[in-house]
């Protein structure tokens, strides 16, 4: 079938209100606009403000992209006014309220889309918005589903939610081989199941709605690239009986200094100051530490991490999302920040992560194994110390260590559901931090081999996103699939003779 000019396509994106989901979708929006599509991002006011400057710069460069704001019924859902992102929740348990508020967006979103000009051609929505499937049907347009994880973790979740493998395992601490995967992967029951159905009625209901809505999608778009996980791209497409469009790493679309600094939120440190500090370090000498926008650590755990970094004698740049009064009190009494001055830097707040990871002085990355951070580390060619917490992060750890072989585990064993993060009891001790960081950063054969492999994957990532690369071609294929489905939807029904 002949292709339709992408300038005739108006694609509407619905990113879920969590940084790990919003960031890649905003990048995706810009990439689609660069390919000639008209793009509208629908989100709430607080979230719109987080990436407004990035979109404004895209508009200034003549891209047809815009943000439409939609109000979240916070009070009605039992949330404080203005609480519009998972990283703003009063407690992890309020995640249920956020899901309730998200479901209330269906009718206002449908009304908004009915009034758009030009009318929407396609919806690309996060799996967490299964109701967008119904909206797409009413508008007679196709939907493409997006999920946060890569193909490896996604396939693992598919295996455990479509087989009875977990029912056959009684122990929560015993490791078992994940069946049906191209590689030998061992996980525990909790590590394999904290993303998916979960363990509550609410989470199971949401997951089942997501799976049901996915059946009508014309494909699944993934922030990954074919060369990174070729066996898993094919296996996922076969398991889902869907086209899988790997179009990443989408973070590589952030080429300007300002886009890198302001991606996702206002950074807690001036970009130039950050670069100045990194410039003063030897190449490959700094370990960068950031455990994600939704991570939760007790005061005891945060202290152990800090002391472990200090005792390693390796230069470090450590970003902490938020601190407690108890931790700040310990800092004041212990004199920690004064002791690390000159070798380490601790920053409270949002990190300009792409900017940091791309700097030559950064030699390694201590990460929570969220897929965005994992892929950003891969794209920058940095080996990782893996410190998963919840969701599919333990599966991403297995991918980094057992499939790619570019990581060292911190030793975290027990995941917790996001809704119960503040109930986590496992503490990684300072000596474990010290040993993992030193193992990653030392100049021996193992560490050097990891660094070389990481650099090879970074080169593959760059090639994939360039014109003619696999991700570039997959964007073309996705646009073509949207066009083909639109043509089918508008094809007149033939009279039966």
Say if 455 falls within a structural domain. Answer: yes
| 328 and 204 together in one domain | no
Q: With a threshold of 0.85, does the pTM exceed it?
A: yes
Cβ-contact 186, 406 below 8 angstroms:
no
| 141 and 172 together in one domain | yes
What is the DSSP annotation of 347-406? EES---HHHHHTSTTEEEEEE---HHHHHHHHHTT--EEE---STTHHHHHHIIIIII--
Say if 404 falls within a structural domain. Answer: yes
| 305 and 410 together in one domain | yes
| 72 and 168 together in one domain | yes
pLDDT at res. 1: 40
Which has the closest alpha carbon to 260: 59, 460, 54?
A: 54
The DSSP output letter for 251 is G
| 435 and 330 together in one domain | yes
Beta bridge partners of 346: 318
| 184 and 331 together in one domain | no
pLDDT at res. 495: 44
The Cα–Cα gap between 329 and 16 comes to 36
Two tokens, residue 450: 């990891």
Which residue range(s) make up the domain with 46? Answer: 6-253+463-487
The Cα–Cα gap between 471 and 486 comes to 23
| 218 and 282 together in one domain | no
| 43 and 186 together in one domain | yes
Give the pLDDT means over successive 10-residue stretches in the chain (497 positions).
Answer: 64 93 93 95 94 89 94 94 90 87 94 92 94 95 94 94 87 91 93 71 78 94 97 96 96 74 55 81 95 78 93 92 84 90 84 90 96 96 95 94 97 77 78 97 95 97 97 97 91 49
Burial (CB count <10 Å: 0-12, 13-18, 19+), residue 175: middle
pLDDT at res. 431: 96
| 384 and 313 together in one domain | yes
The Cα–Cα gap between 304 and 310 comes to 10
| 375 and 452 together in one domain | yes
* Count of domains observed in the chain: 2
pLDDT at res. 2: 44
pLDDT at res. 222: 97
Distances in Å between the alpha carbon of 293 and those of 19, 92, 290? 7, 13, 9
pLDDT at res. 312: 94
Say if 330 falls within a structural domain. Answer: yes
| 3-class state of residue 176 by DSSP | strand
Which has the closest alpha carbon to 183: 215, 156, 157, 144?
A: 156
Strand 186-187 to 176-177 pairing:
antiparallel
| 467 and 414 together in one domain | no
The DSSP output letter for 322 is -
Neighbours of 422 (CB within 10 A): 11
Say if 492 falls within a structural domain. Answer: no
Say if 494 falls within a structural domain. Answer: no
pLDDT at res. 166: 86
| 157 and 278 together in one domain | no
pLDDT at res. 163: 87
Two tokens, residue 407: 């990581």
Say if 495 falls within a structural domain. Answer: no
- For residue 281, what is the enclosing H or E element? none
Say if 12 falls within a structural domain. Answer: yes
Beta bridge partners of 490: none
Say if 436 falls within a structural domain. Answer: yes
- For residue 234, what is the enclosing H or E element? helix 230-240
Could you tell me the CATH number of the domain that includes residue 275?
A: 3.40.50.2000
């Amino acid at each position: 079938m002949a292709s339709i000019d992408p300038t005739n396509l108006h694609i509407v994106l619905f990113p879920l209100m969590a940084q790990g989901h919003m960031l890649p979708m905003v990048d995706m929006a810009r990439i689609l606009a660069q390919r000639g599509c008209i793009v509208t991002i629908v989100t709430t006011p607080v979230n719109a403000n987080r990436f407004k400057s990035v979109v404004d710069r895209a508009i200034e460069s003549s891209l047809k992209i815009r943000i439409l704001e939609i109000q979240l019924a916070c009070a009605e859902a039992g949330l404080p006014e203005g609480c519009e992102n998972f990283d703003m929740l009063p407690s992890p348990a309020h995640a249920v309220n956020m899901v309730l508020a998200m479901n209330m967006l269906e009718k206002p979103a449908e009304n908004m889309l009915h009034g758009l000009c030009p009318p929407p051609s396609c919806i690309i929505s996060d799996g967490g918005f299964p109701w967008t499937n119904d909206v797409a049907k009413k508008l007679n347009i196709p939907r493409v589903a997006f999920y946060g994880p890569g193909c490896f973790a996604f396939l693992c979740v598919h295996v455990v939610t479509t087989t009875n493998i977990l029912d056959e395992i009684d122990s929560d601490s015993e490791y078992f081989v994940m069946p049906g995967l191209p590689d030998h992967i061992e996980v525990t029951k909790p590590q394999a199941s904290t993303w998916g159905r979960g363990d509550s009625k609410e989470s199971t209901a949401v997951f089942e709605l997501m799976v049901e809505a996915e059946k009508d999608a014309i494909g699944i778009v993934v922030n990954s690239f074919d060369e990174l996980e070729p066996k898993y791209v094919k296996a996922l497409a076969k398991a889902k009986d869907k086209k899988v469009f790997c179009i990443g790493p989408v973070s590589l679309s952030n080429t300007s200094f300002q886009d890198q600094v302001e991606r996702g939120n206002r950074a807690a440190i001036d970009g130039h100051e950050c670069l100045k500090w990194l410039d003063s370090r030897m190449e490959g000498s700094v370990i960068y530490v950031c455990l994600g926008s939704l991570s939760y650590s007790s005061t005891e755990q945060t202290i152990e991490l800090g002391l472990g970094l200090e005792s390693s004698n390796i230069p470090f740049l450590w970003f902490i999302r938020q601190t407690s009064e108890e931790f700040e009190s310990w800092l004041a009494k212990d004199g920690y920040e004064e002791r690390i001055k000159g070798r380490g830097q601790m920053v409270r707040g949002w990190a300009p992560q792409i900017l940091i990871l791309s700097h030559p002085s950064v030699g390694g990355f201590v990460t929570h194994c969220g897929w965005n951070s994992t892929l950003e580390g891969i794209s920058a060619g940095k080996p990782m110390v893996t410190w998963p917490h919840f969701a599919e992060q333990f599966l991403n750890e297995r991918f980094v260590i057992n499939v790619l072989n570019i990581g060292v585990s911190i030793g975290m064993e027990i995941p917790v559901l996001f809704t119960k993060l503040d109930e986590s009891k496992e503490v990684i001790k300072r000596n474990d931090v010290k040993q993992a960081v030193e193992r990653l950063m030392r100049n021996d054969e193992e560490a050097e081999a990891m660094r070389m492999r990481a650099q090879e994957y970074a080169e593959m990532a760059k090639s994939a996103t360039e014109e003619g690369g696999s991700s570039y071609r997959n964007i073309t294929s996705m646009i073509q699939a949207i066009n083909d489905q639109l043509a089918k939807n508008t094809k007149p029904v033939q009279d039966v003779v």
